[in-house]
Chain A
Amino acid sequence: MDALALSSSSSAAPAPGLTDPVFDAQRLFRIALAALSRPGTVHPLPVDLDPPSPLTPWAGALALTLLDLDTPVWLDVGLDTPAVRDWLRFHAGCPLVATPEQAAFALVGRVADLDDLTRFAIGDPEYPDRSATVIAQVAGLEPGAGWTLTGPGIKGRARLSVDGLPSGFPDAWAENAALYPQGVDLFLAAPRHLAALPRSVTVEG
């Protein structure tokens, strides 16, 4: 087979990444840190980014902020497209793995599947940090409504409404919380808004 034809068949150059990889990543990290250390808070995306569909802007921005050659990444069936794979490989250089249990980061597009979190790595009792961080592409986020959250980072209680997660999610999250200090951590990425649920937080439906 013609090598040239093969390479051109995997389409054109990947879409652009962060305009300023150093300062954009720093800004995005600080927002991710604020979201994780104050569960229930919702943060808008401060940069322009247009990752290849079906990857949405905040999920793509978070990926370029946190992923590199040290982070095995798993793409679920909702995101595993050639364009997304090329874009992540080109900009982040991250290895893509075949199964969720191998992944340090899991990018989930079909969030209806998140009534089961047992597929992801939960870390060891002695190294609970060796667990997966799941970036879930949800449809929308609204603070002050929906679920009740309690735990570290929250004064009293906080409320967060997430559009797109299945009704079985609070039960799956309770199972995850029962593993504490092991367990997965979850970033909820709406197209232009971000929130996070560290494993230490309790979610009541």
Chain B
Amino acid sequence: MTQHDSGVTFGYLDEQTKRMIRRAVLKAVAIPGYQVPFAGREMPLPYGWGTGGIQVTASIIGPDDVLKVIDQGADDTTNAVSIRRFFRRVTGVRTTEHTTEATLIQTRHRIPETPLGPDQILIYQVPIPEPLRFMEARETETRRMHALADYGVMHVKLYEDISQYGRIAKAYDYPVMVNGRYVMAPSPIPKFDNPKMHDAPFLQLFGAGREKRIYAVPPHTSVVSLDFEDHPFEVQSWDRVCDLCGADDSYLDEVVTDDAGGRLFVCSDSDYCAGRRAAGHEGPAAASAAGAALSETMTAVSREADGEGTP
């Protein structure tokens, strides 16, 4: 651990705020999938940039933690880099890009491809915590629907998808039933990641800053994606592999490489992709000019991120 900025308290939040959030986290763990209201604070970045996840991380992080921050799976995007820099400054903790080294992983919109272990905590940034919000705008009503476990409206929504498109069209933030009781928004992760939440060995915490809600999924808890018997839940699949590392089991992003229709499909999880490439795996476009350029850019950005040690 390096020294944290002496001008701010450890973790940026004051002790009373941390205690308030810690109490909310405990209630959230005790009632899996239930959204606990909390007195969200103004953070030094705007709503929508992960203020909920940051407040949860700031309240639980300690000097012995190793923090990883990802945005859409990548360690080297703006949101991830700035949040990592923020925590390095206000806590002095060690940060990492390697999934296996981290004790805390704050994420926007992905669950890492590398399986997490029991000593890791995954903290999600959540924009809209209420899964019923687009069907019912009133908080008083959605509260009551959760109280009565009255989730008919959600099934109607999924059914309407089937009648309109022939399938459930929701591809991210796909609703789940937690511990057989609460319907929960998994945050805008692709539905590809939903199966990783079920019976997971690690603790999952969710923070929504603008909406001021915290919720949780404890380890080894049932998380079932909603579906119908004749339209079972399915995850996305690709008929190709990662162009850089050749992985056939990871979530792929499409990257436009020129203005002549050139494109590559690469792992959204940058650490997973880099790890595979370092181990000698090669994708179909790894040797092409575009592939080499993309690979070099990713390495350069990550080198830069590693070098941002001094606050």
Contact = CB atoms under 8 A, between A and B. Distances in A.
A38 interface: yes
A165 B22 CA distance: 27
B62 to A, nearest CB: 4
A145 to B, nearest CB: 21
B29 A37 contact: yes
Nearest to A125: B147
* Chain A interface, DSSP helix/strand/loop, else mixed: loop
B26 A32 contact: yes
B29 A36 contact: yes
Contact of B31 (A23, A26, A129): A129
A70 B22 CA distance: 13
Interface in A30-49: 30, 32-33, 36-38
Contacts of B209: none
Contact of A29 (B22, B34, B147): B22
Interface string A49-83: 00000000000000001111111000000000000
B72 to A, nearest CB: 27
Given A38-B219, A126-B147, A152 B32 contact: yes
B272 interface: no
Contacts of B20: 70
B55 to A, nearest CB: 14
Nearest to A39: B218
A30 B31 CA distance: 18
Nearest to B36: A129
A25 interface: yes
Given A22-B15, A155-B220, A198-B29, A181 B34 contact: yes
B25 interface: yes
Nearest to B27: A129
A191 B148 CA distance: 40
Contacts of A139: none
Given A36-B26, A66-B19, A181-B34, A152 B62 contact: no
Interface string B13-57: 001101110111111111110101100000000000000000000
Given A30-B60, A66-B22, A128 B219 contact: no
Interface residues of A, number: 38
B138 interface: no
Contact of A200 (B63, B179, B219): B179
Interface in A13-31: 21-23, 25-27, 29-30
Given A68-B16, A152-B179, A129 B218 contact: no
A180 interface: yes
A200 B180 CA distance: 11
A39 to B, nearest CB: 9
B143 interface: yes
Given A68-B16, A153-B220, A33 B34 contact: no
B203 interface: yes
Contact of A37 (B18, B36, B203): B203
Interface in B137-192: 143-144, 146-148, 179, 181-182
A129 B36 CA distance: 7
Identify the interface centre among A21, A68, A152, A199: most chain B CB within 10 Å of its CB. Answer: A152
Interface string A107-136: 000000000000000001111110101000
A129 B63 contact: no
B31 A200 contact: yes
Contact of B220 (A21, A68, A126, A154): A154
A135 to B, nearest CB: 12
A131 B34 CA distance: 13
30 contacts: A22-B9, A22-B15, A26-B60, A26-B61, A29-B22, A33-B25, A36-B26, A37-B219, A38-B218, A65-B22, A68-B16, A70-B16, A127-B37, A127-B143, A129-B24, A129-B34, A129-B37, A133-B23, A133-B26, A152-B218, A152-B221, A153-B29, A153-B219, A153-B220, A181-B31, A181-B34, A198-B29, A198-B218, A200-B30, A200-B32
The 10 closest A-B pairs by CB, nearest first: A198-B30, A125-B147, A129-B27, A153-B218, A152-B221, A126-B143, A37-B218, A26-B62, A152-B218, A126-B147
Given A29-B22, A33-B26, A66-B22, 13 more contacts: A26-B62, A33-B203, A37-B218, A126-B143, A128-B31, A129-B24, A129-B28, A129-B31, A129-B36, A152-B219, A152-B222, A181-B31, A181-B34
